[in-house]
Amino acid sequence: KANVNVFFRYFFTTWHGCGTAKMGLAIDPLAVVDQSHRVFDVKGLSVADNSIFPVVTDVNTQTAAYYAGWRCAKEIEKTLASL
């Protein structure tokens, strides 16, 4: 078990930026974006990439990025339709 802990502590990847923009509620001090992909306290900015996922996905990361982009586009469409 000690070897597993050492592995996870010192070996990591910088190629997949998952988990760098936490999605959550406004009351969560670590959350960066809401469930509609909008960045807190920055009007008009949304995040549509793998950074909103808490961990690297088990599927192809490009597919996950496409899904995040599609969901974000749907949220923007809803916002524009309500104007």
Percent helix, strand and coil across the chain, each rounded to 5? 40, 5, 55
What residues are labeled active site?
A: 16
* CB distance 39 to 33 below 8 Å: yes
Residue pair 30/22 in contact by the 8 Å Cβ criterion: yes
